[in-house]
Amino acid sequence: MRKFRGMADNLNAEQRHRAMSSVGQRDTTPEIAIRQELHRRGFRYRLHDRHLPGKPDLIFPKWNAVIFVHGCFWHGHECSRFSWPKTRKSFWRKKIQSNRERDAAVRVALQKLGWRIGVVWECSLRGPKQLGIESVGKRCSAWLKGKQQFLELRETGCEVVVDKS
């Protein structure tokens, strides 16, 4: 029996492939929580506009801003929720590095189009060091109403970046 993150993995390679392939890319639990919190605070938005680079999770045309809700594993966030897989190391390093490079290119493309960019990491909403949905909503709300170009929210204990011009 193989080990997977310290737990017994009862799946064979094909079953593991199907399980990982079924992980959703939109309407994730953190994304829905942020949408509900910002809607409750009076913000209206569009979802996943395929005409914008990277298809941002939330688009706020009135505020000229977009927000991405990134999963810490898939985007390789160096936080308490991320650890490199123990199997197929080369594949996962290449995959996660490719995701990071694409994220950087998308940010540059959106900035060139005049959009302000927010990134809310999964660790800000889950785990023992989370900021919590109310705190994330409050910070996103203040950023949307402000003029800062960039917002990044992550778990406590890590730097909270408000402006990264």
How sure is the predictor about 162, in pLDDT bands with cuts at 50, 70 and 90? low
Choose the CATH number for 24-153 among 3.40.960.10, 1.20.140.10, 3.40.190.80, 3.40.50.620. 3.40.960.10
**Domain-by-domain residue ranges, the chain?**
24-153
Using alpha carbons, list the distances in angstroms from residue 127 to 71, 123, 165.
Answer: 13, 6, 29
CB atoms within 10 A of CB 129: 15
Of the listed ranges 15-24, 28-37, 125-134, 153-162, the least confidently predicted one is 15-24
Would you say 119 and 153 are in contact if contact means Cβ atoms under 8 Å apart? yes
Of the listed ranges 6-20, 62-76, 89-103, the least confidently predicted one is 6-20
> Which tokens belong to 36?
């509900």
Strand partners, 65: 60, 116
Amino acid 128: pLDDT: 83
Contacts of 115 (CB under 8 A, 6+ apart): 52, 64, 65, 66
Amino acid 4: pLDDT: 39
Amino acid 80: pLDDT: 80
Mean confidence (pLDDT) of the chain? 84
Determine if residue 126 is left, alpha or beta; phi over 0 gives left, psi from -120 to 50 gives alpha, anything else beta. Answer: beta
The per-residue pLDDT for range 67-97, each reduced to its tens digit, is 999 988 888 888 887 888 888 889 989 999 9
How sure is the predictor about 158, in pLDDT bands with cuts at 50, 70 and 90? low
Q: Whole-prediction pTM value? A: 0.81
Using alpha carbons, list the distances in angstroms from residue 120 to 21, 86, 102, 132, 159.
Answer: 23, 26, 17, 12, 13
What percentage of residues in the chain have a pLDDT greater than 70? 81
